Amino acid sequence: KQWYQRRVAITAGIDEAEKLPEGTLNAISPYLDKNVAIDEVDYRNTIFVFLSNTAGNAIRNYTETQLEAGRQREDIAVLEMENLIQEHLYNSGELKHSSLISRYQLDAFIPMLPLEKRHVQQCAEEQLKQRRNKCGCGDDPSCISTRANEIANQIDYSGRFSRSGCKKISTKANLVCPLDRKSEL
């Protein structure tokens, strides 16, 4: 029991990490080192997830360039994007002065590629399937697709990409077809 208590296995998430006051992320640095223990507690099994839009424009521009060159979004490799993100973080990102970056303590960079209208429509379809009886669509895929397209058309786009991804889809779907909260429980 004592052995288990000294080995922490948690996941901590920090959204918009680039907006934290300078130096805040440096306080986490000792927990990301390969130290065996800090104050007799082993943090090596702890997972920190940092969400950041630091390389967002670089990701968007690269994705746009690749699509214009005829590649499919799904063919853009994670490692390809990881290199782009690393280059941005280490050279020009808001986090470049963080010891997490300068000490190479981050193990993986996972890109969130921008969503096109077809992806937003897929999100809307999934939301509407949960509400199908409230929308009068039942199991009719063409009805769900039509309503999903109406919702996707209400989302703001910058060029070919959604400005907010699928974040607003649930709210928009709820306006069209309210979700019965009792059926969710």
Under DSSP, the state recorded for 21 is P
pLDDT the model gives residue 185:
39
Contacts of 17 (CB under 8 A, 6+ apart): 25, 50, 51, 52, 54, 95
pLDDT the model gives residue 6:
52
Asked if residue 131 lies in contact with residue 177, where contact means CB atoms within 8 angstroms, the answer is: yes
- Residue 6 tokens, joined: 């000294």
Query: Sign of dihedral through CA atoms 14, 17, 21, 24?
Result: positive
Running along the chain, 185 residues long, what does each successive block of 10 average in pLDDT? Answer: 53 80 81 74 79 88 95 92 86 74 81 93 92 79 91 91 92 81 46
Place of tokens 């909260």: 181
Residue 11: its H or E element: strand 11-14
pLDDT the model gives residue 181:
53
DSSP string for residues in 113-152 = PPPBHHHHHHHHHHHHHHTHHHHT-TT-HHHHHHHHHHHH
- Residue 168 tokens, joined: 């607003």
pLDDT the model gives residue 52:
83
